[in-house]
Structure formats: C-alpha cells, structure tokens
Amino acid sequence: MGILDRFTTIVKANINELLDHAEDPAKMVDQYLNDLTESLAEVKREAANVIAEEKRCHRKVDENESEIKRMEDLAKRALSAGNEDDARAFLGKKQELTGTHEELKKAYDAAHENADKMRQMHDKLVSDIENLKSRREAIKAKVAVAKTHEKIAGYTSGSERTENLHAAFERMEAKADQMLDSAYAMAELNEKPEGDVTELARRYSSAGNSAAVDEELARMKEEMGL
C-alpha cells in the first residue's frame, strides 16, 4: 500500500468525531497526538520525495519544450541556408520530442497531484497537532472533573446504603424492646398473688412490733420521772 493510500484516513479524519466516540477522551487525545506526530514525521519524509519527483518531472517537461523550440529554430536556420535535408532532420527530431512531451506532461501532472496531496496531508497534520495541543489540557481537566463527580455519586449512594442500614438496626432495636417489655409483662402476670392469711400475718406482726416500742417508751419515761 502506497503512502497516499495509508494516509487517506488522516486527511478525512475529524478530531471531534473521534473524541465523541472515545470511552476515555483524555487517553484518546494523547494516543491520537502521538499517532499524528509519528505520521507527520513520515509524511514529511515522503512529501520531500514526492515534491522532489514533481520538480524532476517539471524540469523534464521544461527541457523537452526547450529542445522542441531549439529543433524548430535549427530547422529554420537550415532552410535559410538552403539545406532542406538538414531542416527535414531537425523537424523530424522535433516531432519525436513532441510525442515525448505528452508523456512527460502526464508524468508531471501525476507527480504534481501527488505532491498536492502530500502538502494537504502535511498541513492537516500540523493543524490537527496544534489543535490537539491547545485543547489537550482542557479536555483532561473536564475528564478529571467528570471522574470526580462519578466518585462523589458513588459515595452518595454508599451513604444512602448506610442510612438504610441504620434504619434497619433501629427497627430491630425497637422490636427487641417490644419483646423485652412483653417478657416483663408476662413474668409479672405469672407471679402468685398473696393470700388473706399472709396479709393478716404481716399486719399483726407489724402491730406487735409497734406495741413493743410503746412499752419501751413508757418504761423510759417512768425511769426519768416524766
């Protein structure tokens, strides 16, 4: 595949379209910039050869035209000198050179077209490289901001999960409290009530203690003469 075919995609490439379809524009910019820089070096080398070929073909055309004109001038001089045979020979050479001129002109036209394509590719590569260099930092900054937003969104969803977990624990704690209250209530209901005899015994026991205290108090007052 020739150099012109290999770089057809470069001429047709659109940076904005490439970036639109890139998963990571920052990496895409660096990669595309590296590719363009390497391509530019190759295009420069090849362009030099193509342009040199264009100049060589152009020089051949000029030399051919100059030689055609010289043969015509020599034929005229020969006729002026009365040498018709010499004039005929010069004109024959002119006809030969005229036939070659058409082929040389076609070769030059093709070389000129190739040189124009190489110049077009070179100019586009230079323009794209300068464009990418000026936009690279801005693109990377935007990508960094986007990634930061993604992280923040991830943290936000994580905090929401934590809040849901706290709510679940609170519900479990409330249920545990309810179970504990129910257990205490059941235990209280299961306690045996005291009978009438037990209550009466407690009353009389208390009354006995009170009578003893009254007797002790009367004794002390008698001893003190009160």
pLDDT tens profile 26-38:
777 788 788 878 8
Residue 50 burial (C-beta neighbours within 10 Å; 0-12, 13-18, 19+)? buried
Distance in angstroms (rounded) separating the CA atoms of residues 121 and 16:
18
**Per-residue pLDDT for 137 more than 60?**
yes
**50-80 pLDDT, tens digit each:** 999 999 999 999 999 999 999 999 999 999 9
Could you tell me which residue, 127 or 57, shows the higher pLDDT? Answer: 57
Mean pLDDT along residues 157-163: 59
Q: Is the pTM of this model over 0.85?
A: no
> Residue 1's pLDDT band (boundaries 50, 70, 90)?
very low
**Per-residue pLDDT for 116 more than 60?**
yes
Q: Which amino acid is at 25?
A: P
DSSP letters for 35-59: HHHHHHHHHHHHHHHHHHHHHHHHH
**Per-residue pLDDT for 181 more than 80?**
no
User: Cα Rg for the chain, rounded, in angstroms?
Assistant: 56
- Pick the range with the lowest mean pLDDT from 71-80, 105-114, 132-141, 167-176: 167-176
Q: Please report which helix (H) or strand (E) contains residue 151, including its range.
A: helix 84-190
Most confident of 187-191, 205-209, 210-214, 218-222: 218-222
